[in-house]
């Protein structure tokens, strides 16, 4: 259950969010914040149509929310007992979501 972060923190006696609240809680907190961000994006498009293109913003964020829910890597990470391979897969998943968001920006 120890990740590279836990090893690094224990060797250098650093205090991080993961060392304070745990790996599982940090993963779920981060995933929840990303979902919250997508929800706010949808609401922003609904309530501020003069700023955002609804036709792009709403479907794009709904697709990202559904993708995140159906490919919920935090659950996969927990099932794999937070192994290094599973953690790297989770980080890749989150970064791919961020890259997708950046690709959408010019069209909003």
User: pLDDT over 70 for what percent of the chain?
Assistant: 84
Question: How many domains are contained in the chain?
Answer: 1
Domain ranges, residue 42 = 4-107
Of the candidates 43, 7, 8, 1, the one whose C-alpha atom is nearest the C-alpha of residue 24 is 1
pLDDT tens figures, 61-106: 999 999 888 887 677 777 878 777 887 888 888 899 999 999 998 9
Radius of gyration, alpha carbons of the chain: 17
What pLDDT score does 16 carry? 74
**How many other C-beta atoms lie within 10 A of the C-beta of residue 31?**
21
């Amino acid at each position: 259950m120890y990740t590279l972060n836990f090893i690094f923190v224990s060797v250098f006696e650093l205090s991080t969010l993961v060392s304070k609240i745990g790996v599982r809680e940090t993963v779920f907190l981060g995933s929840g914040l990303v979902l919250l961000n997508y929800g706010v994006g949808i609401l922003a498009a609904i309530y501020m149509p003069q700023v955002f293109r609804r036709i792009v913003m709403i479907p794009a964020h709904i697709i990202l929310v559904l993708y995140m829910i159906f490919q919920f890597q935090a659950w996969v990470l927990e099932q794999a007992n937070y192994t290094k391979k599973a953690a790297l897969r989770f980080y890749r998943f989150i970064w791919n979501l961020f890259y997708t968001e950046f690709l959408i920006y010019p069209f909003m």
